[in-house]
Structure 1
Amino acid sequence: MQKLAPLNDRQVAMLASLEKEQEEVSEGDFLAKENTRLDELFILKKGWVIATREEASGRAHIPTVYHPGDVIGLSDVAFTHTPNTIVAATQLTICRFPREKLTDVLRQSPRVSGLFLALSMIDQALMNDRLIVSRRTDGYLRLVLFLLQTMSRLRLMEPRLHDQFYCPLTQEQIGAATGLSGVHVSRSIKKLLELNLIERHKRFFRFADEPGLNSLVGYVDRYESLDLSWLPEGD
C-alpha cells in the first residue's frame, strides 16, 4: 500500500503484522473454493493467482488475476461464501491472516482503511475499462488491454520494469480472463506481432510499441492517475 500513498511507522507496523508468517504454495493448489466460506485472506508476496468461475455453459471464466502485493479475498469478505475458486497459477509465497484481523486494522487506522477503499475503486475502474473494450468488435483489443493493465500492475511493485514481463498464464487462461477462446488469443498475438506492436519470447511479452498499444484502446493507467489527497493524514 505504500506504493500508493505514504504511511507512518505505526501504519507500516500494522500492515506488517498481517505478514508475520510466510508459506509456500504449489502451482495448482487451491486457496479457496467457490461457494465456501472464506475465513482467511492472503497477501501475495510472490507468484500469480487466478480467481476462476464456471459459467452456465461450462466454460471457465477468470474474473481476477492477482499479482504480488495484492490482498487475495478482499473483494469477497462482504459475502457469506466466496463467489470464485482461487487457485495458484504458479508457485507462490503467501501470508495468511484471519478475516477478523482485517477488522482490527480498519478500526485502528482510518488512513489504511481509506487505502483499502481506494484499492476497490481502482479495481472498479479497471473492470469498467474492460467492459468498454469488450463491447468493441475487434476481439484482439481485449488482449491489448489485458497486456497493458498487467504491465501497469507489475510496474506498481517494480517501477524499474521496462518494456517486458513474464506471463505464466496459458493461452486458454488468458482467453478465460479476456473472454476470448484460446484460438482467438493465438490469432490476436499473431496480429499484434505482425503490426510490430509486441514481441513474444516463450512466455515473455515485450512491448515493441507501447504508445501504439495505448492508442488502440485509449489506455489510461489507473495506477498513475490517482488523487488520494482525501485520505486521512495520521492515526
Structure 2
Amino acid sequence: MQNLTYHIAFTDHERRLVSALEGPPKVVSKGTRLWEPDEAPRYLYSVHQGWAYTFHRTADNSEQILDIGLPGDVMGLRDLTFTAHYTATEMLTDGIVRPIPVENIHRLFQVAPRVAMALYAATARQQRTITQRLINVLSNDAGSRIAHFALEVHHRLSRSNATVGNTFTLPLTQRQLSLMLGMSEVHVSRTLSDLAARCLVRRQRQSIDILDFEELARIAHFQPERFSDTLNPALSTLDAPSLEGTAS
C-alpha cells in the first residue's frame, strides 16, 4: 500500500496499522484471477510485485480492459462498497500480492480516519485515471491514444520507482493494448510503427522506449498535473492523532 503515503504523510502508528491490514505475501503466477464477476468483494489486493489488469466480458464474450494495476497500487477499491464485483482481475505477469480482508478496512475507518482518507484519495485517483483514458480514447486519434497511455504508465511507474528511465516494462500484448484503447490489433501495430518512424516511441517485446517526451506529450495532450497526488487543501489539514496506541 505504498502509494497511500503519497497523499498523506503517515505517523509511525498509522504505518503500523496499514502494515497490519495486509495478509502474508502471496506469490501469484501470470493468469491468476484475483476475483471474478459477481463474487462478493472479500479482499482488496496490495500489489507488491508484478502487474495485473481489470476487465469486463460482455454477453457475447467480447472483452474490454478497464485498468491496470502496478506495484504499489491497491486493487479492488472501486468495488469495495458494492455487494458484488462487476469485473474480473487477473495477473498480467508473475508477481506478489498481499490480500487485505474487507473487514479490516471497516475497522480502519473507525480508528484511523487519515488512513481512510488516503484510501479514498487512491480510489478517486484510480477513477480519474480511467476517466482521463476514456477522454483520450473518445477525443484523439490512434497515435495520441498510444502516446497518452505510454506517458500515463511512465508517470505512474515513476511515482514508486524514481529510477524509471526512458525505457520501462510494458507487459501488454498488442491485443490487450487494442482492448484498452479501442483499436484493432492491426491498427495498434501500424500506429506503433508510425510512432517509431517519427522517433517518438520504440516498442520491444516486453518494454517500451520513449524517445521524445516533449513531442509525445504535445501530440497526446498529456497533462501530468491531472494525475497529481496532492490532496485538496481543505482536506489536507486533517490532523494526525496526538496519542498513539488507541487501536492496538
User: What TM bracket, shorter-length normalisation?
Assistant: over 0.9
Measure the CA separation in 1 of the matches of 2:198 and 2:36. Answer: 40
Q: How far is 1:29 from its partner?
A: 1.2
Once the two structures are superposed, residues 7-58 of structure 1 have per-residue CA deviations (whole angstroms, 9 ceiling, x without a partner) of: 1101111111123410101111111111111211111100001111113443
In the alignment, structure 1 residue 67 sits paired with structure 2 residue 70: yes
Which one of the candidate residues 40, 43, 48 is aligned to 2:46?
43
Conserved? CA contact 2:167–2:208, under 8 Å: yes
TM-score normalised by length of structure 2:
0.89
Once the two structures are superposed, residues 36-84 of structure 1 have per-residue CA deviations (whole angstroms, 9 ceiling, x without a partner) of: 1121111110000111111344321110110111111111112111011
Conserved? CA contact 2:148–2:220, under 8 Å: yes
Q: How far is 1:97 from its partner?
A: 2.0
Equivalence for 2:36 = 33
Q: How far is 1:228 from its partner?
A: 4.6
Equivalence for 1:87 = 90
Label 1:139 to 1:50 Cα distance change in 2 as closer, same or farther (>3 A).
Answer: same
Which one of the candidate residues 112, 125, 130 is aligned to 2:128?
125
Q: Secondary structure at the match of 1:28?
A: coil
Which one of the candidate residues 216, 221, 232 is aligned to 1:218?
221
Measure the CA separation in 2 of the matches of 1:168 and 1:7. Answer: 32
Which one of the candidate residues 109, 112, 115 is aligned to 2:112?
109
Following TM superposition, where does structure 1 have runs of at least 4 consecutive aligned residues deviating by more than 6 angstroms?
Answer: none
Measure the CA separation in 2 of the matches of 1:74 and 1:225. Answer: 16
Conserved? CA contact 1:27–1:92, under 8 Å: yes
Equivalence for 1:14 = 17
Label 1:170 to 1:227 Cα distance change in 2 as closer, same or farther (>3 A).
Answer: same
Measure the CA separation in 2 of the matches of 1:107 and 1:181. Answer: 47
Once the two structures are superposed, residues 66-112 of structure 1 have per-residue CA deviations (whole angstroms, 9 ceiling, x without a partner) of: 01111111111121110111111111101112101011112211211
Measure the CA separation in 1 of the matches of 2:159 and 2:140. Answer: 31
Conserved? CA contact 2:54–2:68, under 8 Å: yes
Q: Which amino acid aligns with 1:172?
A: R
Measure the CA separation in 1 of the matches of 2:14 and 2:135. Answer: 37
Equivalence for 1:182 = 185
Equivalence for 2:194 = 191
Once the two structures are superposed, residues 146-189 of structure 1 have per-residue CA deviations (whole angstroms, 9 ceiling, x without a partner) of: 11111111111102212121111111111111122221211121
Stretches of structure 1 that go unaligned for 5 or more consecutive residues are none
Label 1:168 to 1:116 Cα distance change in 2 as closer, same or farther (>3 A).
Answer: same
Number of corresponding residues: 235
Measure the CA separation in 2 of the matches of 1:174 and 1:220. Answer: 21
Measure the CA separation in 1 of the matches of 2:123 and 2:86. Answer: 17
Question: Superposition RMSD on alpha carbons, in Å?
Answer: 1.7
Point out the more displaced range, 118-127 or 174-183: 118-127
Which one of the candidate residues 167, 190, 213 is aligned to 2:170?
167
Equivalence for 1:233 = 239
